[in-house]
């Protein structure tokens, strides 16, 4: 397990990317969400590994990318903050009916025992080119992830609905 690898998870559109940018601004190493990177690549190349076209192919790519991200940062000496990561990707693959042993994969690639969850926050939720689902689907995803993390031995910490600087202070104080 790497106590230095910190996961930000939770509700889609809940402010994870904004928080990640604030942590980056404060000098921390951050890793952008695999899903957003994949959507950007697939849209640019005309590919079909998109969550609205082929969720299983998208999730398989996200699992591979999350594993590569972890490996690339193995030797980084400080905290590394991940916008989503392997658990979210594997949970998506599992939900899409992909052949994945979520518990085994998670056990072999641990993050810090605390995972920071962004709660559903309709006031800031917005769809875009990479996030085409509605708020109801985002909330359902959050509920699924909020139940999965404790089953895998993680302690979910709910981030407050607060300005980004306060959220970053809250998160860093709990590490």
Q: Which two tokens stand for residue 149?
A: 């993390």
pLDDT at residue 51, as a whole number: 86
pLDDT band at 170 (very low <50, low <70, confident <90, very high): very high
**Distances from the Cα of 70 to the Cα of 30, 121, 139, angstroms:** 11, 29, 27
Give the H or E element holding residue 102.
helix 102-108
Could you give the percent of the chain with pLDDT greater than 70? Answer: 98
Q: pLDDT digits over 75-127, tens only?
A: 999 999 999 999 999 998 888 887 778 888 888 999 999 999 999 887 877 77
Reference 16, options 111, 110, 175, 138; nearest CA is 138
Instruction: Determine phi and psi for 22, rounding to 5 degrees.
Output: -65, -40
Query: What sign does the dihedral 56-59-63-68 (CA atoms) show?
Result: positive
Average model confidence (pLDDT) across the chain: 90
pLDDT at site 93: 85
**pLDDT tens-digit map of 128-139:** 677 667 788 878
Do residues 160 and 166 make contact, with C-beta atoms less than 8 angstroms apart?
Answer: yes
- Looking at residue 99, what is its pLDDT? 75
The mean per-residue pLDDT over the stretch 42-46 comes to 93
Other beta carbons less than 10 A from residue 157's beta carbon: 13
Domain layout of the chain by residue ranges: 5-173
Q: Which pLDDT value is given to residue 67?
A: 94
The yes-or-no verdict on residue 1 having pLDDT over 60 is: no
CATH, range 5-173: 3.40.50.300
29 confidence band (pLDDT: 50, 70, 90): very high
Dist. CA 159–CA 96, nearest whole Å: 27
pLDDT of residue 2: 77
């Amino acid at each position: 397990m790497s106590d230095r690898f910190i996961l930000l998870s939770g509700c889609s559109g809940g402010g994870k990317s904004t928080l990640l940018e604030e942590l980056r601004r404060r000098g921390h190493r951050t890793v952008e969400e695999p899903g957003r990177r994949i959507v950007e690549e697939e849209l640019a190349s005309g590919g079909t590994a998109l969550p609205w076209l082929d969720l299983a192919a998208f999730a398989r790519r996200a699992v591979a990318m999350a594993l590569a991200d972890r490996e690339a940062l193995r030797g980084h000496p400080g905290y590394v903050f991940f916008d989503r990561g392997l658990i979210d990707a594997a949970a998506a693959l599992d939900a899409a009916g992909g052949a994945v042993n979520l518990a085994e994969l998670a056990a072999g690639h641990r993050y810090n025992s605390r995972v920071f969850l962004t709660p559903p926050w309709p006031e800031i939720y917005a769809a875009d080119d990479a996030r085409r689902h509605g708020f109801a689907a985002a909330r359902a995803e959050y509920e699924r992830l909020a139940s999965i993390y404790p089953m895998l031995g993680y302690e979910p910490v709910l981030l407050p609905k607060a300005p980004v600087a306060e959220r970053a202070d809250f998160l860093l104080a709990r590490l």
